[in-house]
Amino acid sequence: MSSSPPIKALETLAPPPVRERPAPEPPRTGRHSLWLGAALPIAFLLGLEIAVRAGWVPAHLLPPPSEIARTLSELAAQGLATHVLVSTARVLAGFAAGAALAVACGVWVGLSRRAESLLDPTFQALRAIPSLAWVPLLLLWLGIDEAAKLTLIAIGAFFPIYMGVVSGLRDVDRKLVEVAEMARLGPIAMARRVLLPAALPAIWTGLRNGLSLAWMFMVAAELIAATRGLGYLLTDGRETGRADIVLAAIVLLALMGKLTDTGMQMLENRWLAWRDTVATR
């Protein structure tokens, strides 16, 4: 007897071959996203240039972008790099001090209910104080030297980082803690191997927010009798009635803030590459 019918029957009962799905395309990054991100600022600058040239906007109140570029060129010949470096150094020093204290306090409050009851109400009240309210007090305490400026920047960086650390530790998945307890991890090992890695995304978000606020508080800090820095340029432009200098300083603040935040984002993508999230699909 021929064996072809059973073979044909088996072939009809066999499941169809599974077709391999094509690998998902990697997210579009690099030059494409760079141009896409620059589209809105370029369109705004072109529209502003046209509006001022057409007389729709007073040029003495809002100079055109070409005039601001000319002012930046003139300031560059007069030592603009020194102002940028001084402001950047102040931001980095104040941010480092505020971040170190915020991480230490945040870890303590996040891991201890007693510390939370002791410190968190005070920190939440201090967080609501505006930056300029600290200026006269710091002038009385620390004078007009660098210590007052760095302290004000550290205050600005402290609270968002503290909030990021505390919220990150509080939001750790309870199942991870239970598994660590079943594995009989001690407090230090649990904090190092479970709690801090799980809270790291929230902590990093707090660090980025703290760095942004450090730039904002730097402007208020350089109102304290500064003779160099981007905040000094803002004050100088206001006192001399030159809107082009004020806008040039604002542009530089935006660029430096974006540059430092991009650096933080690159470090985040590198150090937190293990995350399995929508952004990393």
Low pLDDT (below 70) residues in the chain: 1-33, 276-281
Query: Are the C-beta atoms of residues 57 and 74 closer than 8 Å to each other?
Result: no
Integer Cα distance of 63 and 72 in angstroms: 13
Looking at residue 255, what is its pLDDT? 94
Largest CA distance in the chain: 108
Domain count for the chain:
1
pLDDT digits (tens, 9 = 90+) for 2-44: 444 544 443 444 455 555 555 444 445 556 667 787 888 889 8
Domain membership flag for residue 238: yes
Range of the domain at 123: 62-272
Residue 22 forms part of a structural domain:
no
| Residue 3: per-residue pLDDT | 46
pLDDT at position 32, please?
Answer: 63
12 in any annotated domain: no
Is residue 13 domain-resident? no
Give this prediction's pTM.
0.82
Task: Report the CATH number at residue 95.
Answer: 1.10.3720.10
Residue 204 lies in a domain: yes
Is 86:229 a contact under the CB 8 Å cutoff? Answer: yes
Q: What is the dihedral of CA 155, 159, 161, 164, to 10 degrees?
A: 180
